[in-house]
Amino acid sequence: MRKLNELTSRAVLARNRSFRTCVRRLARLPDGGEPVNVVRMAADDEKDDGTDAPAQAEQSDTKDDAAPPEEDGAGEQAEAEAPSGAEEGQGAQEKSVAPATKPTGAAWANGFVRVERVFTWVESRALFVALMALVFALVFWISLRGMASPVESKSSAGIVFRMLVGAGILGGIARVTAVRYLKLDETKSALLTIGGVVLGVLTAPVWRTVGIERADAILNWLQEGSSLTLVGGLRGVSTRLTVVVALIGASLAAARSKHINIDVVLRFMRPSLRVPVHLLGAAATATVCFIASYGFFDYTSIEGFGQNRDTTMAQKIAGVRHVSGKHRFVFYRQIGLDFRTMPDVVFSGVRWDAPTRLNGKQWNTWLDESGFSEQFTAEEVASMKAPVSMENEPRVPIVTLPGEAAKGALEHDLNLLWPLGLFWMGVRVILRALLVLSGHASVEPDADEPDEDDAPAAEAAR
């Protein structure tokens, strides 16, 4: 690098000296004389001057002066770019000799590293799906309630929702038309878009009564007569998805030791004691998670599934599996009924509980053909059927359970998310402790660990 800078400085000084020599020769040119080759004069002068610069500088100057005059600008540009190239070479050299930052760990934990990466990959994708499902459920629920709001109600939800929908649709159409078809500039496109939004807001009262009956029929069906009724309707779906998002997020945080904790003592502790203290804290955290999981399951099995509190945990697990299996069977059969009901409700606007939809005799036939006798006893199936005297009476197409209400029948099954999530968090904490013990993870409070999705790129960079 030093030699390159020295040669560059010599070349610049030699060029300046050649220029001054040419000026002196031109000053001595007699009037009416022959034209003088300035470049050749400068080259000859540099050959004669052998005491001002070393031989290497004179050779470089001679080659530069022999080039055509119009190439001087390119030569100067190359000289100006030379230092930047040198700096890049120096940066590349420094980067090549930089020490590798790849953490080293015990070989016995390589399998745990791969398992942890798989868990993180699956959880991150599951979290994204759960978040999108939660957003969709909330938007869909609010939209149906806004559309189904009657005109005579005191609530302004119906008119406000239609204002937002109209502004979004007309504003979007105006924007696309202005940019793609009319090719307007940004100012005119913005004005046209604002005009579309204002028009959408002003026209909301015009279609205030449009879609009320259809939206009310769909909302009532989803809340009271569909498979979603078994989980508490759209509100229940949103609640359970929120729980799923919280549990998956907590598991991801525990996998990186980013969960809520007080690390003041760890920050002021000697580095040699940080690993043992971290392992002790991980053991305590995992113990709490496992105990809480046990307690949640025990309470849910007794209150939600009717298990005896004096039975063993194995018997409670078997009882919960048996009852939950029946609930899943009913849920699947209700989905089949939903597919038969949905076309009339969604496309024709017929309510799900219309008297002409189903009668008692048709309901009894459906029970016999759907395999209920394989999951329930004869007495339980008989309690589900319509009496003979009511076979010609209307029957709502929703499954009933012996001794249980149809609405919210699966809420207790979904409550099992809590013990399962807490147990999984305990497993993730233990896995993290193993990675710390083996040296594959750091216990530094401010340690910045790369994302698992960026692991291949990080490995390639190293």
Tens-place pLDDT, residues 24-80? 554 454 444 444 454 455 455 544 544 444 444 444 444 444 444 444 444 444 444
Adjacent-strand bridge partners of 359 = 394
Lowest average pLDDT, out of 105-109, 269-273, 285-289, 454-458, goes to 454-458
Q: Report the pLDDT value the prediction gives residue 437, as an integer from 0 to 100.
A: 92
Adjacent-strand bridge partners of 314 = none
Residue with tokens 């809590």: 418
Encoding tokens for residue 331? 């849920």
What's the structural domain count of the chain? 1
Q: Report the pLDDT value the prediction gives residue 264, as an integer from 0 to 100.
A: 60
Adjacent-strand bridge partners of 394 = 359
Q: Report the pLDDT value the prediction gives residue 75, as an integer from 0 to 100.
A: 44
Q: Assess if residue 22 is contained within a domain.
A: yes
What is the distance between the alpha carbons of residues 155 and 161, in angstroms, rounded to a whole number?
Answer: 11
**Residue 23: which domain range?**
2-84
Q: Which long-range contacts (CB under 8 A, 24 or more apart) does 381-388 make?
A: 386/360, 386/361, 387/360
Q: Are 435 and 441 in contact (CB under 8 A)?
A: yes
Q: Report the pLDDT value the prediction gives residue 154, as an integer from 0 to 100.
A: 79
Give the number of C-alpha atoms closer than 13 A to the C-alpha of residue 4, restricted to the C-beta side: 11
Question: Mean pLDDT throughout 320-327?
Answer: 93
Q: Are 151 and 158 in contact (CB under 8 A)?
A: yes
Q: Report the pLDDT value the prediction gives residue 321, as an integer from 0 to 100.
A: 95
Q: Assess if residue 76 is contained within a domain.
A: yes
- DSSP of 209-239, one letter per residue? TTTHHHHHHHHHHHHHSSGGGGGTHHHHHHH
DSSP state of 394: B
Q: Are 282 and 435 in contact (CB under 8 A)?
A: no
Q: Assess if residue 48 is contained within a domain.
A: yes
Tell me the percentage of the chain whose pLDDT exceeds 70. Answer: 71
Q: Assess if residue 29 is contained within a domain.
A: yes
Q: Assess if residue 142 is contained within a domain.
A: no
This model's pTM is above 0.85: no
Question: Mean pLDDT throughout 367-374?
Answer: 91
Q: Assess if residue 456 is contained within a domain.
A: no
Q: Are 436 and 275 in contact (CB under 8 A)?
A: yes
Q: Assess if residue 378 is contained within a domain.
A: no
Q: Assess if residue 43 is contained within a domain.
A: yes
Give 456: exposed, middle or buried? Use CB within 10 Å, 0-12, 13-18, 19+: exposed
